[in-house]
Amino acid sequence: MKFSVQLYTLRDEIKNAEGLLNIFPKLKALGFDGVEFAGYYGLDAKTIKKALDDNGLVATGTHTGTSSFLPENIDATIEFHKELGMNLIGVGGAAHGTDAEAERTSLIFEWANKYG
């Protein structure tokens, strides 16, 4: 069986781009085969993919913000995640505290669903 770790649980150890790249060999040594992202710390997808490959890890999932699905961002979002080898993009949470926030969030996903 393969195991993946949700990097959000390690956010206090990762803290920055260098920390993200440095945690990959540690995770592989612990027996993990993949990682689920909760942020990319400003790194580009090619750099992350190379680091994953160098450490025998795969990207198994992600949590990204709803703004990634806006018309002006969706193409770059899709390309970034394809580069990492992912065919699905998850959202960790979305504004929904008021009726207006919930409606805006639902419209973003409605648009993104029609787009894809």
Question: In the Cβ-directed half-sphere of 79, how many Cα atoms lie within 13 Å?
Answer: 6
Structure-derived torsion over alpha carbons of residues 78, 16, 108, 36, reported in degrees to the nearest 10: 60
Stretch 61-90: mean pLDDT: 93
Neighbours of 40 (CB within 10 A): 17
CATH number at residue 8: 3.20.20.150
pLDDT digits (tens, 9 = 90+) for 20-51: 999 999 999 999 999 999 999 999 999 999 99
Which domain does 99 fall in, by range?
Answer: 4-115
- Number of domains composing the chain: 1
Q: CA-CA distance, 6 to 60, in Å (whole number)?
A: 9
Mean pLDDT, all residues of the chain? 93
Stretch 89-112: mean pLDDT: 90
Confidence of residue 88 (pLDDT cuts 50, 70, 90): confident
Instruction: Return the pLDDT at 116.
Output: 65
Distances 42 to 10, 49, 61, 94 between C-alpha atoms, Å: 17, 14, 17, 21
